């Protein structure tokens, strides 16, 4: 696998504010990388650095093996799609698509061929003579993607391309982007703060916080083996349950009220002391199912939230609140006493002081 985008020791400051610090990232040819993180963590900033729209304070950026740190955006072999579409309002769709090519003084025939191909792929041929105001949000975003497409570049950069659209359209376009990637096999770097988008689209997800990549891994690993408390809490909805306790050997004692044996949890770096057991709501079983689990306990239901496909219930164990997800058929009501159970092997254990997985 060859490297497509390589970021080495990248730093970026706005005046005294350090937004990115010594960031390293290697993206393989044809890979779909999603940058995910809370608002203000520097995702757009990183993308703008890769695009060449911001001058980096330190470090290097390589695209397709070429050092592009000082290159103009147009010379980097990238196409970019913005959250606000950023279509040129006075130009028709066709002119919007061909603008970059006309600036580069490409022959007319070649421009026409490329616009035709892009508009076919994105199914916007009937819209070519319209102005952006005459398009719906989904159509505008398609044109914006088309503008990157015609440039025939190696790397696509997306900055929250779907976040201005309604839920239904977002789902549709998400599938289209996935299809597009399968067809074109370009490298794509995609910024979002929607975890569903991240989980469904990404080959690998980079979770960012305060300008630092916390974990870079495939969606399965991010979901099941988060490296620290931040990643664990950020991914998943409802979010992961955290049970605070004291770890000695393989037993977590919770406030002296309960002892949870972590028998089949595979420690990477066992450290005794204050620890946190993270267990996802969907990994907690209830009723008959719970009887098969290594850890079982009685608890009383406090709140029930029926979601349609399943039900989320809130309860407490050893004084700490816990949510779990049950099948919609399971009858649950507040005040009911139920048996719940889970397998610590599917959970994550973190050191309370460092927040890191152990």
Ligand X SMILES: Nc1ncnc2c1ncn2[C@@H]1O[C@H](COP(=O)(O)OP(=O)(O)OP(=O)(O)O)[C@@H](O)[C@H]1O
Q: In what order do the strands lie in the sheet with 3-14?
A: 17-28, 3-14, 58-63, 66-67
Distance of CA 286 to the CA centre of its chain: 30
Per-residue DSSP letter, 266: -
- Write the binding mask 155 to 194 for ligand X: x where contact by CB under 6 A, - elsewhere: --------------------------------------x-
Taking CB under 8 A as the criterion, which residues in 74-133 touch other proteins?
A: 74, 78-80, 82-91, 99-100, 103-104
- What does the alpha-carbon distance between residue 64 and residue 47 come to, in Å, rounded to a whole number? 16
Q: How far apart are CA 95 and CA 115, in angstroms?
A: 9
Mark the segment that binds ligand X (CB under 6 A) among 43-51, 62-70, 236-244, 269-277: 43-51
Q: Is 349 left (phi over 0), alpha (psi -120 to 50) or beta?
A: beta
Q: Which is nearer to ligand X, 17 or 103 (CB)?
A: 17
**Are 302 and 351 spatial neighbours (Cβ–Cβ below 8 Å)?**
no
**Which of 2, 39, 90, 269 touches ligand X (CB under 6 A)?**
39
Q: Which two tokens stand for residue 240?
A: 């992961």
Question: Which window, 34-42, 74-82, 181-189, 236-244, contacts ligand X (CB under 6 A)?
Answer: 34-42
Rounded to an integer, what distance in angstroms lies between the CA atom of residue 330 and that of residue 286? Answer: 9
Q: Quote the least distance from Cβ 122 to ligand X, whole Å.
A: 25
Cα–Cα distances in Å, from 53 out to 70, 71, 73, 76, 245? 11, 10, 7, 11, 47
Is 60 a residue that touches other proteins (CB under 8 A)?
no
Instruction: Candidates 4, 44, 186, 215: give the one binding Mg ion (CB under 5 A).
Output: 44
Q: Report, in Å, the least distance between residue 17 CB and other proteins.
A: 16
Strand partners, 61: 7
Residue 314's binding partner among other proteins, Mg ion, ligand X, none (Cβ under 5 to 8 angstroms by kind) is none
Q: Minimum distance between the CB of residue 62 and other proteins, rounded to whole angstroms? A: 18
Say which entry of ligand X, other proteins, Mg ion, none residue 281 contacts (CB below 5 to 8 A, set by partner kind). none
Which residues 9-28 are close enough to bind ligand X by CB under 6 A?
A: 14, 17, 19
Can you tell me which of 10, 33, 43, 82 binds ligand X, judged by CB under 6 A? 43
C-alpha separations of 329 from 264, 309, 326 in Å:
30, 9, 8
Contacts with other proteins, 19-58, as mask; x by CB under 8 A: -----------------------------x--xxx-----
Give me the least distance between CB of 190 and ligand X, in Å please. 12
Burial of 92: CB neighbours in 10 Å, binned 0-12, 13-18, 19+? middle
Q: Which is nearer to ligand X, 54 or 297 (CB)?
A: 54
Closest distance of CB 90 from other proteins, Å: 4
Nearest by Cα to 31 from 221, 231, 222, 217 = 217
Binding site for ligand X (CB under 6 A): 14, 17, 19, 37, 39-45, 193
């Amino acid at each position: 696998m060859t490297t497509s985008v390589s970021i080495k020791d990248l730093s970026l400051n706005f005046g005294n504010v350090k937004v990115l610090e010594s960031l390293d990232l290697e993206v393989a040819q044809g890979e779909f990388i999603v940058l995910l993180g809370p608002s203000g963590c520097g995702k757009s900033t990183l993308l703008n650095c890769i695009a060449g729209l911001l001058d980096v304070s330190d470090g290097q950026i390589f695209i397709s093996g070429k050092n592009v740190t000082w290159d103009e955006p147009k010379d980097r072999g990238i196409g970019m799609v913005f959250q606000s579409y950023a279509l040129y309002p006075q130009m028709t769709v066709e002119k919007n698509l061909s603008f970059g090519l006309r600036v580069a003084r490409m022959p007319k025939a070649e421009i026409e061929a490329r616009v035709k191909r892009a508009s076919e792929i994105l199914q916007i041929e009937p819209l070519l003579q319209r102005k952006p105001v005459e398009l719906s949000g989904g159509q505008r975003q398609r044109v914006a993607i088309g503008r990157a497409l015609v440039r025939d570049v190696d790397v696509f950069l997306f900055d929250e391309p779907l976040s201005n659209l309604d839920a239904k359209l977002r789902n549709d376009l998400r599938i289209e982007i996935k299809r597009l990637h399968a067809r074109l096999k370009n490298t794509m770097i995609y910024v979002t703060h929607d975890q569903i988008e991240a989980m469904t689209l990404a080959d690998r997800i980079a979770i960012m916080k305060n300008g630092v990549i916390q974990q870079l891994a495939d969606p399965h690993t991010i979901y099941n083996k988060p490296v620290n408390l931040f990643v664990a809490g950020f991914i998943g909805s409802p979010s992961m349950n955290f049970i605070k306790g004291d770890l000695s050997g393989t037993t977590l004692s919770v406030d002296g009220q309960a002892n949870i044996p972590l028998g089949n949890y595979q420690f990477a770096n066992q450290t005794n002391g204050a620890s946190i057991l993270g267990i996802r709501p969907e990994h907690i079983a209830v009723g008959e199912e719970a009887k098969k689990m290594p850890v079982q306990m009685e608890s009383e239901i406090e709140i029930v939230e029926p979601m349609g496909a399943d039900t989320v219930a809130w309860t407490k164990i050893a004084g700490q609140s816990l949510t779990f997800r049950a099948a919609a058929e399971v009858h649950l009501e507040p005040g009911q006493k139920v048996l719940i159970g889970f397998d610590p092997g599917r959970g994550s254990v973190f050191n309370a002081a460092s927040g890191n997985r152990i």
